[in-house]
Structure 1
C-alpha cells in the first residue's frame, strides 16, 4: 500500500509541474545535407532534404529559414548595428582614425564581393512541388504550394550556393589563428515556430533558437583537410586524422566525410589541413575529441591537459545537472572566441591553460543550458548564458582549482560585476530581447553575470539543497524540449514549496535593486530596514557576548513558505530561529533578542545581492 501511495504522489508531482504547459508541443526537423566545397574560392554547393513535422495546432501556409551568412555584407543590419552601437565588438571593427582621433568602422562595411558571405537559394520544393520564396536579409520567406496541416510531415528539397565570409564573427575563413574554415550558421536553418509564433530575428551577432532534429551531413572537400564536427563520424577509416590505419579514399582529389547526430538543434564544423585529432573518454562514457592546430609545444600541452579536464567536467555535470545524453563532444579550434553548437564547440586555441579550460568548460556547459534544453537565447539570454556561467564556475573551482569545498557563494565575482552594472546607469531589464540592449556592456553583464546572480540567489531563497534538486528535476522534465524561465520557476516552486512569482518578476523584468541595512541594535532589539524597493527574505547571524551564535531566518510573506536549514560551515553549531515573516509593504522590521549582542550580520553567506554591503554588519 505504501509503495502504491508513493508512486501516486510521484506521478502527481510530475503532473502538477507539467500543468503549466498543458498541450505542450514542438516541431521536429530531419536534415540530410550534401556539401561540395571549393576550398580555393571559399565557396560551396549545398543540397538539402529536410523533413519538417508540424506538431502545432494550426496549419502552416508559410515557413522560414535563416540565412546567416547574408549578414556579412555591407549594408546589412549587422553592419549598421556595428556602426551605431555605443560600444561595438572590437573583433568586428577596425580603427581607421588616429590615436588622438579614433574612428571605429565596421569590418563588414569594407568587405569586397570576394570577401562577403552569402547563401543564395537556387531551388526549393515541398513534396516535389515548387514553392515561392524570397530573401529578406538573413531570413528566407517561403510560401508553400499547400499548407502543412497539423501532424503532417513535409519534405523540402533545396539547392543553394554559398560563399564563406572573411572571419569576422563566429563563422568565416582564415581566422586570426589560421584556421581555414569555421563553418557555423553555414546552412539554411529552419526557423523556430512554437506557441509564441515564428521567431524571425535578423542576425546582428547575437544568438539563436531552432527546433530539435536529426542531422546526416556529408562533406566533400580536399583530401588533405581534417574536419572537426558535430555528431559522430561514420567513416573514420576513409578520411584523414581519426584512425591511424585509415586509407583516405578520394575522388577528384576530394575525400568524403559523413557525420550523423540525433536530437540536436544546430550543427557546426571546421576544417584545416594542419589540424590534429586527439580523444579521450569520460568515466560516464562520453568520447571527447579535440581538433586543433599544434602550433607549438605549449599549445599541444595545454590542449592535452584541457582535454582530460573536459572529460572530468562531463562527469561533474552529469552528477549535478543530469547525464550528457550524446556519445561524443568535439572541441574544435576555430571561430573568434567560443560558441556552443550541437555536441560541439568552436573555440580559439592559442590561449594559456586557465583561459583554454575556462572557455571549454563554458561552452561544454551550454550542452545543458541551450542544447539539451532548447532555450530561446534571443529572448531569455540570461537563462542561457547565466546558468551556463554558473555551471562553468562550479566546475572550474572544483576541477581546475581543486578546491576541497566550494564557498557558500562560489560566484561572488559575478555578484561584484553585477553591482558595478547596477550602479553604472547602464542596466536594463534582464528580460529585454538580447539584440536590443543599448550597449554590449549591458548585455554581457546582464546575461553572464546577473544571470549567475539570479541562479545563486535563488539558492539563497529556497535553500541550496532545494536548488540542487531543482536542477536535476528540471533535467528529467525538460531535456530535449524548449523550456522557458517559468518552467524552471514551477519546478523550483514544487521542490521547495515556496512561491517565486515576485522574484522572477522583479529581478528579471525590472532594474530594481536590493539594499538592506541594520538600522539600530540594542541589548533587546535589532531593527532592520529595507532601503530599496525589492523585498527579500533575510538571514541574520547574531553573535552574543557569551560566545554563542543564533541565525534568525526572516521569510518574506510573499514566499508563502520557508527554506530549510542549510549546511554551510559558517552555520555549524549555530542555533536557527525562524522568525515571523516580513511584509514587502513594511520598510522596517524589529527583532527581539534575549542576550547582549556583540556582532550582527545580514547574510554571512554573501548570496543576497545587496548593492551596499557596508551597512549589512554591526559590531559593538
Structure 2
C-alpha cells in the first residue's frame, strides 16, 4: 500500500509538467550594433542579449549558432555536398568526368564565412566557451535557475561568405549583401532539450524575442530588413519626401540604420546601392515594402506583383488568422527564397507567375514558421507543407482559378512518384538526415500538403477550416508540434486521429483500396494495403439516382459530417458500420441495379492506385 501511495504521488507531481510541456517559452531579446566594412565584406558586431529562463530546469550552459562557420573548407556542410546522392546544384561544381566538387572547398581565406567571438560575458563576468563547427558552447559562471534572467555581452567579428546559400555576398543578380544567419543566434531550449543541429543546409528553430538593430554602413547603401525602420527620414530610400540626408547620424561616410521588431525569432537584412523601395498597405494588415534592384528588366513584374501581394495578406487574415506585425518586407537577394521574421529574401529575375508564387510561399511562412515558430529541423513537413497548402489556396482564389474538391492534385502526383521511387523515408525523419534532397523536398513541400488535404477528407472541409482557426487562437507564438495540431483537429471534429498521424507521418505505408466485385445485391471492397482509412463510396444507380455510402474506419470512433460537393449533389447519404482495420474485406449491400461505383470521387484519398477505385457496368 505504501509503495502504491508513493507511485501515485509521483504521478501527481509529474503529470502537470508533462501536460504543460508547451506552456513555457524561453525569451531572448537582442540589442545589436554592427559596423560594416563594405569593401572587405566584413563587420564588427556588439550585442547585448537578455535571456529569460522560463523553463523548469536549471541551465548550466547555453549555446549559440554560428552559421557562417559552415562556409569553410572541411565543414559539415562541405562534406555533405560530396556525400549525398543529389547535392544542391547551387553549391557544387560538376566536372566533365562526373565528379562532384563542393564550392565551399574552393573558398579561400578572403571569401570564406566566419563568426569569431572576441569577448563574451554573463552579467559582467567573463565566460569560457568553445566552438564546435557551427555551435558555440558557453559554460555559465552562474547557473541560470528557473525564472531567472541573464544579460550576455558579446563582441565578435564576421566575414560574409562569397558563396550564396540563403545569405552571402555578391549574388548572381548583383546584390552586395544578403544578410541571413548573420549573427550569433541563441539556440532553442524547450521541453525536448537543446536544439543543437549542425548547419548543413536545412532550416531553423529559435526562441521568440525583441530585436533592436543598428547597422552602420556606407551612406549610399539602401537596406531592406526585418521589423520597422525607426529613422527613415535620416537614411536613403525610404522617406516619402525623398530625403536622403544623414542628419546628425552621419559619421564620416557612413550612416546608421535603426530597426526594431517585436516577438520574432530571427532577423535578416539585405543591402545594395541600387535598391529601390516601394510600399503598399493591406486592409487590416501590415505595410508591405518591396525592395528591389534598379533593373528595368524586372521592374514591370515587381510592380504588377504588389497588388496580388496585398490581396494575399488579406486572404491569409480571413482564412488563417491576422498577421500580428506592423510591416512585411520583400527584398531581392539570396539564392532563391527564404523566410525570416517579417522579411523574406527572394531572387527577383523571374516571370510574373514565378515571382508571385515565391512571394506567396515565403509570406505564408510568416504564419507557419514565424507566427507559430514550428520547428523546421524536426517537423519540416508541417512548416513547408502547411505553407505550400495555404499558398496554393490563396493563389486559386486571388487569380480566380477553378477550385476542385482536391485543391492541389499535383501534390498527390508528386507524392505518388516518391512513394513508388524507393527513395521515400518517414516524414518524421529529422530534416538534415534524408538520404536524398529529392526525398526531403517531396516530403516537406508535397506530402505535407497531402497530409492536410487528406485530413480534410477524413474530418470534413468545415472541420479543417475550424481547426486552423482554433490552432491560430491557441498556438501562436508557442512553437507547436504536429501533436498540437492533431489534438486541435480532434477537439474540433470529435474524431480520433492518432492512427492517421502515426501511419502517414512516421511510416512510409501507402493507401490502396479497390472495388473487387459488384453483384445485384452487394459491392465487395478490399483494403490492399496496411493503411486503414474511412471510405466515401458513391454509387450511381441505373435509374439515375445516387447514394453516398460513408464507411468510417473503426479507429475514428465517430463520423465526419456531410460535405457539400457538386459531385454529391442529390445523393442520399447513408452511414454504414465502421470498417474494422484487421479485416481487409468489407461488403456493402444494395437493393437495385448499379451503373457505376467510385471510391472517393473527390480524389482527396491518397490512394496509390486509383484505377481499381472505379467499377462500371
TM-score (norm 2): 0.96
Alpha-carbon RMSD: 1.1
| 1:402-438 residue CA offsets vs partner (Å, 9 max, x unmatched) | 12x5211111110000000000000000000000000
CA shift for structure 1 position 20:
4.7
Task: Check whether the contact 2:22–2:478 (CA below 8 A) recurs between aligned residues.
Answer: no
Q: Find the counterpart in structure 2 of residue 85 from structure 1.
A: 84
Distance 2:53 2:180 in 1: 26
Question: Equivalent residue of 1:320, what SS?
Answer: helix
Q: Find the counterpart in structure 1 of residue 276 from structure 2.
A: 276
1:516 aligns with 2:504: no
Task: Check whether the contact 2:22–2:191 (CA below 8 A) recurs between aligned residues.
Answer: no
Residue 459 (structure 1) aligned to one of 449, 453, 456 = 456
Q: Find the counterpart in structure 2 of residue 251 from structure 1.
A: 251
Q: Find the counterpart in structure 2 of residue 158 from structure 1.
A: 154
Written as runs of structure 1 = structure 2, the 5 A alignment for 1:99-498 is 101-243=97-239, 244-249=241-246, 250-297=250-297, 299-400=298-399, 402-403=400-401, 406-498=403-495
Distance 1:51 1:28 in 2: 8
Question: Equivalent residue of 1:550, what SS?
Answer: strand
Task: Check whether the contact 1:167–1:335 (CA below 8 A) recurs between aligned residues.
Answer: no
Question: Equivalent residue of 1:366, what SS?
Answer: helix
Task: Check whether the contact 2:224–2:270 (CA below 8 A) recurs between aligned residues.
Answer: yes
CA shift for structure 1 position 245:
3.7
Task: Check whether the contact 1:78–1:204 (CA below 8 A) recurs between aligned residues.
Answer: yes
Distance 1:317 1:406 in 2: 17
Distance 1:368 1:318 in 2: 10
Task: Check whether the contact 1:223–1:248 (CA below 8 A) recurs between aligned residues.
Answer: no
Distance 2:573 2:285 in 1: 43
Distance 1:136 1:51 in 2: 23
Distance 1:94 1:175 in 2: 17
TM-score (norm 1): 0.95
TM-aligned CA distance change 1:462 to 1:20, over 3 Å: farther
Distance 2:22 2:424 in 1: 36
Distance 1:233 1:144 in 2: 34
Question: Equivalent residue of 1:262, what SS?
Answer: strand
| 1:362-418 residue CA offsets vs partner (Å, 9 max, x unmatched) | 000001111011111100010110000000110111113x12x52111111100000
**Structure 2 unaligned runs (5+)?**
1-16
CA shift for structure 1 position 610:
0.4
Distance 1:27 1:305 in 2: 41
**Structure 1 unaligned runs (5+)?**
1-17
Query: What count of residue pairs does the alignment treat as equivalent?
Result: 597
| 1:440-498 residue CA offsets vs partner (Å, 9 max, x unmatched) | 00000001100000011000000011000000100000011110000001110000000
| 1:94-134 residue CA offsets vs partner (Å, 9 max, x unmatched) | 12x21xx2221110000000010000000000000111011
Task: Check whether the contact 1:394–1:410 (CA below 8 A) recurs between aligned residues.
Answer: yes
